[in-house]
Amino acid sequence: MHKSFLFALTALCGCAFALASATSYAATPDVKLAGPHAVTITLQGKSATFDVPGATWKVVVDEKYPAPPVFNPNANSWMKGRVLRGVNACECAVFGALEPASVVVKLEATGETLTRGKDYEFDDSSGAFGRLANGKLDENAVALVSYRCVESRIDSIILNADGEFAFVQGEPLVLSPTPPTLKEGEKRLANVFTSGRDDALTEAALFPVDDAFENDRGMNAEAFVAHVGDYCRENNAPQAPDVSNVGAAKKFLPKTWKKLVDGEEVRILAWGDSVTACGYLPDDQRWQIKFANRLQEMFPKAKVTLMTEAWGGRSSDSYRNEPPGSDKNYQEKVLNLKPDLIISEFVNDAYMNEETVAKRYGEMKADFDAIGAEWIILGPHYVRPDWMGLTAQRDIDDDPRPLVKGLRAFTQERGIPFADTPQLYGKLWRAGIPYLTLMTNNINHPNDFGMELFSAALTRLFQE
């Protein structure tokens, strides 16, 4: 394993073992609204005000859609038809990005402009488009669709190499914008998230970069994890419990640890939902492959064998409720594999409260004990804000989901290692990152950077 990654993990939040930072950080800047499209930044008695450009639009002209499907008004919004490519997200859509009034549909064969509600229909929010029965679009027709969609952008206020405040505009994108990459000698002080077609900026758009993160010049997971440790140390954050700290594997996974140290084969089962199945990313970007590779580097004499069993859109209960003979039967597809170590990831267990977690996960613990398997629970990442009861992507250090509270309590009570990914996601805003920009489907499917955070939370458990 690269030394830089090992250091990054040892600096994770709440760890008493973390090394003292050699960097001297300035105070976190104060960023306030100065008008509908202006912000003022103040740092160490020095202030500057910057105008923030409004949202931009992506204009699409005569985009071809051969054989559009029949519009289904009863399906989920993004499944009512074919999502227009300009607002497409991986397996989903960028909700609200389409300007409905801009949509014009023509028949390629004749150039005739067609009529919404008669020849075609689309969902205003998702942009799912389809033909209507008895309209002029049939199954062999090609539709030409013109429209425009709003772009999002992450701009940065920086301290340049001359010690002056400066405004750096980010690249506008419909989906997953990233902060602009800075040059050597520049420090990122704040990000401003221009999202959607808001008439004016709000406080929710302002992301002051805590001084622990100001030296980052891009989306680097290793640096982020290290700086989370800097932040927590400087703010006297509570220490992480033993089950989430360095040394957890050695203490709570004695059989797995012994096999790793003795150079034996360790069979690991990654068990989860669509985030574990992860058909939307290249294999080498999946969390379990990243983790298995790092574990192999840490224990080069051992043989790390990885297995994956995953079911998109389902929960741990879904497996346990499947009948014998089912392709996803819990006994046959999980327990019968008799792995040495099970790592479970189920963001879809979010419907569970603390009492339900104690009961259902307690039953699974008994099942795993019966086959001699040890267990790590991989905490769920943050998902679409309204699904979590959040109203913004900042001021979100504490995960509000009962599932996470239940998992933290259960793992501490039962001595099960808990890879606390939610804690990392809760600090993204302090680095100026709106966490939803990490989701490839604009809802709950993390990108490569998000997967790296899973791997980091797991790998640190195996450090000494």
What pLDDT score was predicted for residue 437?
94
233/337: higher pLDDT: 337
Residues sharing a CB contact under 8 Å with residue 310, sequence separation 6 or more, in sequence order: 270, 271, 272, 273, 274, 276, 277, 278
Domain-by-domain residue ranges, the chain?
29-56+152-209, 57-150, 242-462
pLDDT tens figures, 1-26? 333 333 343 334 433 223 223 333 35
CATH hierarchy code of domain 242-462: 3.40.50.1110
Residue whose structure tokens are 């040892």: 10
Mean pLDDT computed over 66-72: 95
pLDDT tens figures, 83-114? 999 999 988 999 999 999 999 999 999 999 99
Please list, residue by residue across 402-417, b when 16 or more beta carbons sit within 10 angstroms of its beta carbon and e when fewer do.
bbbbbbbebbeebebb
pTM score, two decimals? Answer: 0.88
What pLDDT score was predicted for residue 26?
56
Strand spans (E) along 52-152: 57-66, 82-83, 88-89, 92-93, 104-107, 120-122, 128-131, 142-150
pLDDT tens figures, 375-399? 999 999 999 999 999 999 999 999 9
